[in-house]
Amino acid sequence: MEWSNQRCLLTGASGGIGQAIAKALAQKGVSLVLVGRNSARLHALKEQLPGEHQVCCADLSNAQERESLVSKLTEQGGVSMLVNNAGISHLSTLEDTSTEVLESVLQTNLMVPMLLTQAFLPQLKQRRTTHIINIGSTFGSIGFAGQTAYCASKFGLRGFTESLLRELADTNIKVSYLAPRATDTQINSDASFAMNKALGNQVDTPEMVAKQFMLLLEQHKTRAFIGFPERLFIKINGAFPSLVDKALIKKLPIIKRFIAPTMKDKIL
């Protein structure tokens, strides 16, 4: 990988995992386009990074803002890496999830990566070697109670990534999927953190996720699933889902303690 020749569009750069990935890439000499909605956080990040970078504020679920971002960057010569990392989460039963939240989770976590990828494909094809990396989740392989919208979006993102990497196999575009497990960032509400603790789930640092992200690129991997036993559960869930049904249904009473109806309209 010739890092210093890369220009990378990183969505969700203002978030926990995004900031850690931005720091890891900038240290290698990659020039970044930092995208998010929180201008102050993006500018503060830019100040900390070595090298030349650009801040672009955009609500990616807004078609106009997304399209003007694409036009602006295409006019500037485009990018060689697209990291679809922006995401939102919501912990509640399906019954207690509003239509607005359902649509927003699917739009941000699934449609936005698909639409951005589609918009950048023509110019990605014109460069020598280019990369698309989609940030999924363990919940993109294991359905979890209280996470129906999030799981649907991340299962969709994994399917999209797999399909695209096969579709583009005879091109210069490498497509990869990185699935973090629970990570210490603001996407997780207090209830999510408390639930992870009660369930005994490990929580990674964003820096650990960034390290795995860099390994994925350096080792030319198409997929990486972070953490043990999560990696094992993903395999078992793929081969024998009824075994995982049983294990997770046993935990349902604990999970239900943290899915409060008061969380109904909270979009993180």
Ligand X SMILES: NC(=O)c1ccc[n+]([C@@H]2O[C@H](COP(=O)([O-])OP(=O)(O)OC[C@H]3O[C@@H](n4cnc5c(N)ncnc54)[C@H](OP(=O)(O)O)[C@@H]3O)[C@@H](O)[C@H]2O)c1
CB nearer ligand X, residue 168 or residue 210 = 210
- Give me the least distance between CB of 86 and ligand X, in Å please: 4
- Give me the least distance between CB of 1 and ligand X, in Å please: 22
Asked if 258 and 194 touch (Cβ cutoff 8 Å), the reply is yes
Q: What CA–CA distances, in Å, run from 141 to 172, 214, 238, 263?
A: 28, 22, 8, 24
CB nearer ligand X, residue 15 or residue 156 = 15
C-alpha span between 17 and 31 (Å, rounded): 18
Single out the catalytic residue among 78, 138, 141, 150: 150
CB nearer ligand X, residue 13 or residue 91 = 13
Q: CB nearest ligand X: which residue?
A: 15
CB nearer ligand X, residue 12 or residue 156 = 12
Residues near 174 by Cβ (< 8 Å), separated by ≥ 6? 129, 130, 131, 132, 165, 220, 222
Interior/surface letters 143-163, b for 16+ CB within 10 angstroms, e for the rest: bebbbbbbbbbbbbbbebbee
Instruction: Cite the DSSP H helix spans in 147-268.
Output: 148-167, 190-199, 206-218, 230-239, 241-250, 252-258
Residues near 185 by Cβ (< 8 Å), separated by ≥ 6? 15, 16, 17, 206
Interface residues with ligand X (CB under 6 A) are 11-18, 36-38, 59-61, 85-88, 108, 135, 137, 180, 182-183, 185-188
- Give me the least distance between CB of 59 and ligand X, in Å please: 5
Residue 150 annotated in active site: yes
CB nearer ligand X, residue 6 or residue 188 = 188
Sequential DSSP letters for 70-121: HHHHHHTT--SEEEE-------B-STTS-HHHHHHHHIIIIIHHHHHHHHHH
- Give me the least distance between CB of 43 and ligand X, in Å please: 11
- Give me the least distance between CB of 2 and ligand X, in Å please: 26
Residues near 236 by Cβ (< 8 Å), separated by ≥ 6? 243, 244
By annotation, the residues acting in catalysis are 150
